[in-house]
Structure 1
Amino acid sequence: MIALSPPQASSVAGSVDTLFDVMLALTGTVSVAVFVVMIVFCVKYRRRSHADRSNANQTRLGVEIAWTVLPFLMFMALFGWSISLWSRMRTPPADAAPIYVVAKQWMWKVQHPGGQREIDSLHVPLGQPIRLVMTSQDVIHSFYVPAFRQKQDVLPGRYTQLWFTATREGDYPLLCSQYCGTDHARMTGTVTVMKPADYARWLQAHAGQGLAEQGAERFRRFGCSGCHDSQSGVHAPDLDGLYGSTVPLADGSQVRADDRYIHDSIMLPRKQVAAGYAPIMPSYSGRIGEDDVLALIAYIKSRRTAMEAAREQH
């Protein structure tokens, strides 16, 4: 038997298919009804037919209200259903495990927090929520797994996220659904869903330097420690406890120090200058890759975690 659609392999796949089927049935029914009535009237009231036109000016208000209001209510119900499903698909659970993805012409680079790296493949555990934090090195790409019924554009200079819970073991195609250049059609990969025990063994077998540890190494190699180290003589913002805090800016506004803020502070340092500091930090745009920025963000996060842990001990 030929499958009409990919298998349902995520917790939202069934809901997406049901919504699509109902939308197809509703729009199809309305379209057929309109064309049937149109064809019947065209035939019945064609020129030189013997149809009675003596009451041509008579109107039926009830009929007009019914065929206007009823389809409107049905489509509004469909709209409300779709918004509810969209909100569910865009709100990851608090326990979703983060995995970082960098798209570039023409590959998917995956980085697990424990140091495991992949290219054009993604290993995930069965039944556990996964949150992908994604950015692009060059142009707009789009992360698409048909079996999960999930798709998310991946943008340069921004972080987007997609979350899912895989519900079936197996290998599923990963595609780029946004035209991104010459080899767009070859920008493919595989998502492998494994039992939790098998996934734990895979993580252990492919463990490497953790993302935060990679960030600490890059922090020194790129010269960040020359200004932001606690013992540096340069007047630069303190990074301990920075992540998640509220940062006052030179223009009088405030911003939360999240992934986007730290990314822009590295790549576009003059965009949001912290209050009390001169705009002397050089831009690293074009000098380091997005995977390097992800590692630096992980390191800055870890400094806040370490500071909080030290406070609890005292």
Structure 2
Amino acid sequence: MTFLPEASSFAGRVDGLFYAMLGLSTVVVLGVFTTMLVFAIRFRRGRHVDRSGESHRELGIEMVWTLVPFAMFLAIFVWSIRLWIVMRTPPANASTIHVVGKQWMWEFEHPDGQREIDTLHVATGQPIRLVMISQDVIHDVSIPAFRVKQDVLPGRYTQLWFTPTRTGTYNLFCAEYCGTDHSRMGGVVVVQTPAGHARWLASHASGSLADQGRMLFTRFGCAGCHDAGSSVHAPRLDGLYGSTVPLADGRQVLADERYLHDAITLPGSEVAAGYAPLMPSYKDRIDEADILALVAYLKVRGTDREIPHAAR
């Protein structure tokens, strides 16, 4: 029997929970079927035993067979919830990599602009946060060796995170049926040493994702409305990310990645207070990879992390 390698910080913990649940279920199944077998043999046809049906209630026995299994399964539930919370809470020092799923391929965008197709390079010991979205239908990122899996949805960001612990090449699958070539929508995760990964990043540098977004901001004409010198009455975008935005309908929303994405693709859904809904939708006009770059630029626009004017 060949077992999957444990290649992430989650793998051993997920396996421990699985084997504990398997063991507990085995104990319960054996207890139930052993009792059934004993009674089937004892009360088989032709056996001289008391069949009067007289009731003998033993409160202690009933309490034990009710409360003990309940306590064991409750312990499994608490264990799983705690692990689930950890697996859904990436650390502050996690490196964010953006993922776009489309029929039938995976695109990976590193913070410094390195772009990969169906292959993801990461380093051991470095927490990795994948921020994912689909170009078309529902996909699902599954990396069995890391014991992580997450749906990738159109029009909505989802995320997962992991910390690789072993160098090597590990399979990545789409675990949600997504069309004709679903079975071919796979890839690999290449886990390198920190030094080896640094060399790989340096050899594939192509400008940061935010820098790409700045160029797209100009190419798509966004500056014509949203720059300070514009004659169009449109919201200013400097320092927008992370702020609270009052809306025309009286609500207030946080300008997070989801808000910025929807402002580009569904601008009429959340109109900023004091502005008319004039912006056209860019949904289906630009692909999700470009939207990711635009969002990356808007996150740093007007901050000390914005691309210097000298570099433009």
* Superposition TM-score, scaled by structure 2 size: 0.96
Question: Structure 1 residues 40 and 307 mapped into 2: Cα distance closer, same or farther (>3 Å)?
Answer: closer
Q: Which residue of 1 aligns with 2:166?
A: 168
1:207 aligns to 2:208 (yes or no): no
Kept in 2, the 8 Å contact 1:240–1:307? The answer is no
Letter in 1 for 2:187: G
Q: Map Cα deviations across residues 41-82 of structure 1 (whole Å, 9 max, x no partner).
A: 123223443112346222111111110111000000000000
Q: Which residue of 2 aligns with 1:218?
A: 216
Q: Which residue of 1 aligns with 2:178?
A: 180
SS in 2 for 1:306: coil
SS in 2 for 1:198: helix
Question: Structure 1 residues 307 and 93 mapped into 2: Cα distance closer, same or farther (>3 Å)?
Answer: closer
Q: Which residue of 1 aligns with 2:50?
A: 52
What is the CA–CA distance in structure 2 between the aligned matches of 1:10 and 1:48, rounded to whole Å?
Answer: 60
What is the CA–CA distance in structure 1 between the aligned matches of 2:252 and 2:134, rounded to whole Å?
Answer: 27
SS in 2 for 1:75: helix
Equivalent of 1:236 in 234, 237, 240: 234
Letter in 1 for 2:219: R
Q: Which residue of 2 aligns with 1:123?
A: 121
Q: Which residue of 2 aligns with 1:273?
A: 271
What is the CA–CA distance in structure 2 between the aligned matches of 1:13 and 1:305, rounded to whole Å?
Answer: 38
- Alpha-carbon offset, residue 203 of structure 1: 0.4
What is the CA–CA distance in structure 1 between the aligned matches of 2:303 and 2:185, rounded to whole Å?
Answer: 37
Q: Which residue of 2 aligns with 1:142?
A: 140
What is the CA–CA distance in structure 2 between the aligned matches of 1:222 and 1:50, rounded to whole Å?
Answer: 90
Letter in 1 for 2:73: F
Q: Map Cα deviations across residues 167-208 of structure 1 (whole Å, 9 max, x no partner).
A: 000000011111111111101101000011111110010000
What is the CA–CA distance in structure 1 between the aligned matches of 2:28 and 2:302, rounded to whole Å?
Answer: 57
SS in 2 for 1:209: coil
- Alpha-carbon offset, residue 223 of structure 1: 1.3
SS in 2 for 1:199: helix
SS in 1 for 2:301: helix
What is the CA–CA distance in structure 2 between the aligned matches of 1:302 and 1:249, rounded to whole Å?
Answer: 22
Please, which runs of 5 or more residues in structure 1 have no aligned partner?
none
Q: Which residue of 2 aligns with 1:103?
A: 101
What is the CA–CA distance in structure 1 between the aligned matches of 2:176 and 2:225, rounded to whole Å?
Answer: 40
Q: Which residue of 1 aligns with 2:284?
A: 286
Letter in 1 for 2:101: A
1:155 aligns to 2:129 (yes or no): no
SS in 2 for 1:163: strand
What is the CA–CA distance in structure 2 between the aligned matches of 1:253 and 1:31, rounded to whole Å?
Answer: 53
What is the CA–CA distance in structure 2 between the aligned matches of 1:304 and 1:38, rounded to whole Å?
Answer: 72
SS in 2 for 1:266: helix
- Alpha-carbon offset, residue 32 of structure 1: 1.3
- Alpha-carbon offset, residue 209 of structure 1: 2.2
What is the CA–CA distance in structure 1 between the aligned matches of 2:166 and 2:38, rounded to whole Å?
Answer: 49
Equivalent of 1:195 in 171, 193, 196: 193
1:80 aligns to 2:84 (yes or no): no
RMSD after superposition? 1.5
Question: Structure 1 residues 105 and 308 mapped into 2: Cα distance closer, same or farther (>3 Å)?
Answer: closer
Q: Map Cα deviations across residues 203-245 of structure 1 (whole Å, 9 max, x no partner).
A: 0100002111110111111111111011100011100010000
Q: Which residue of 2 aligns with 1:61?
A: 59
Kept in 2, the 8 Å contact 1:126–1:193? The answer is yes
Kept in 2, the 8 Å contact 1:241–1:307? The answer is no
- Alpha-carbon offset, residue 307 of structure 1: 7.7
- Alpha-carbon offset, residue 149 of structure 1: 0.4
What is the CA–CA distance in structure 2 between the aligned matches of 1:55 and 1:300, rounded to whole Å?
Answer: 77
Kept in 2, the 8 Å contact 1:140–1:156? The answer is yes
What is the CA–CA distance in structure 1 between the aligned matches of 2:307 and 2:138, rounded to whole Å?
Answer: 39
- Alpha-carbon offset, residue 309 of structure 1: 11
Kept in 1, the 8 Å contact 2:97–2:108? The answer is yes
Kept in 1, the 8 Å contact 2:211–2:307? The answer is no
